[in-house]
Structure 1
C-alpha cells in the first residue's frame, strides 16, 4: 500500500477546494473522463499547475481522496466497536449498526459525505489496482466486523460466512451510493425516502438479512 504523507499545507483552502472539486467530478463523470485542468477550473483556481503543486500526479490525488474518506469511516467504526465491546458481547444487529452507521453519518472537511461513495465506485470500476493498492482491504473497523460476524454465524463454514460478508458489503456500497446521489441532488440533505428513519432501519435489515441468509427462514418453515 502506498504511504501518503501530505504536505503541511493540507488543510489550506486551496487544497480543500481542489479535493472537493476533484471528488465531485470523478464521482459524477468517472475517472478517465476528468482532466486535471478541469479540476483546477472547477475549483476556481487560476494556476493550471495547482493540482500538480499540491498533490503531484492524478494518481496521487486519487489516493489521497480515497484515504481521506476511508480514514473517516474507519475511525467511526472503531469508535462504535470500542463502545460495544466495552459493554460485553455484541449482537448481530449491533455489529451491523457499527458497520453501517459510520458510512451514512460521516462528513469531512472537503464534503466527503456528498460524493465519496460514487467516487469509490468509479475508482473500483476504472482503477481497481490503484484502489486495492491504496485502501487496506481489511481496515481495523472492518476486521472487527468480520470477526464478530464469524463468531455470531458459527458453526457455518468460514467460506460461507465470507461469501455473505462480501455480498453484504457490495450491496451496502451500492445502496449507500444511491442514497448519496439522491441526497446530493436535493442539496438540502432532506429526501422524501432516504431521510426517513424507516429507510435507515431497512438498510440495516437488508445487510443483516444477507448475513443471516436462508438459515433462519428455513428453520422457521420447518
Structure 2
C-alpha cells in the first residue's frame, strides 16, 4: 500500500492542478529533482501565478509525494489483479505469470495526467536523489510485490533464498533500465510510435530478459 495522500487541498482547481502535475513530472523526469524550481513548473504549465504550486500542493515535497502516489496507485491496482489471476491458477502458476504481473503494470500505465509519458523516469530520479522521501511515500514492498517475491522463491526452489532474493533484485533493476529506455523512446517519437519499442516483440523481450535472470541456474 502507498502512504496517505498529502494533506494539501486536493479539491482545488482540477484542470490547473493536472496541468501543473503533468508539467512538473515531465521536468523532474527529464532534468532530475534538484535541478527543477517551482517557478519553472509554473511556467511550463502555462500559469501566471508564481505561487501556483504552493497554492495547489503546499511544498515541493508535497508535490513529489502526490506525483509518486498517482502512479504507484495505478501500478499497484493492476499488479494486484495480475497476481490474483496467477494465484487462481494454483499449481499451474508459472514464473512467466509472475514476471508478466511485474512488467505489464509499468508499461501499460495510463492516468489522468499522462503518467505513461514520464512516470517511470520520474520515479527513477526520485529514487536516486530523494531515496528517503520515496521510501516514506511509496513503500517498496507492497502487498502484491510481497506475494510476487514469495511465489518466485517457491518456484525457484531449491535455489537458496539468498540467491532467489538476489535474482529478484537483479531482475528488478533490469526492468527499471529497460522500461525507462522504452518510455523515453516512445515519449520522443511522434504519436508514441517507435520503430523498435512499439513492436510487440520488444515488450516480450523485456519479459524474456527478466525471466531469464530469475531462472538462470546458479553457478557451482
TM over 0.5: yes
**1:72-91 correspondence runs (5 A):** 72-89=74-91, 90-91=93-94
1:112 maps to 2:132: no
Counterpart selection for 1:134 from 137, 144, 149: 137
Q: Which residue of 1 aligns with 2:174?
A: 171
TM superposition outliers: structure 1 runs of 4+ over 3 Å: 5-8
Give the total of aligned pairs.
Answer: 217
- Relative distance call for 1:80 and 1:43 in structure 2 (3 A) is same
**1:93-104 correspondence runs (5 A):** 93-104=96-107
Q: Which residue of 2 aligns with 1:159?
A: 162
Q: Which residue of 2 aligns with 1:13?
A: 15
- Relative distance call for 1:172 and 1:11 in structure 2 (3 A) is farther
**Structure 2: gaps of 5 or more residues:** none
Deviations 1:11-63 (A, max 9, x none): 71011000000000000011111000110111011111111011110011111
Q: Which residue of 2 aligns with 1:182?
A: 185
Distance 2:202 2:41 in 1: 34
Distance 1:187 1:24 in 2: 17
Distance 2:67 2:122 in 1: 9
Deviations 1:91-131 (A, max 9, x none): 11111111111111111000001001111111111111111
Q: Which residue of 1 aligns with 2:25?
A: 23
**Structure 1: gaps of 5 or more residues:** none
Give RMSD over aligned pairs: 1.7
Distance 1:202 1:113 in 2: 19
* Partner SS for 2:11: helix
Distance 1:147 1:199 in 2: 28
Q: Which residue of 2 aligns with 1:148?
A: 151
Could you tell me how far 1:7 is from its partner in structure 2? 3.3
* Partner SS for 1:188: helix
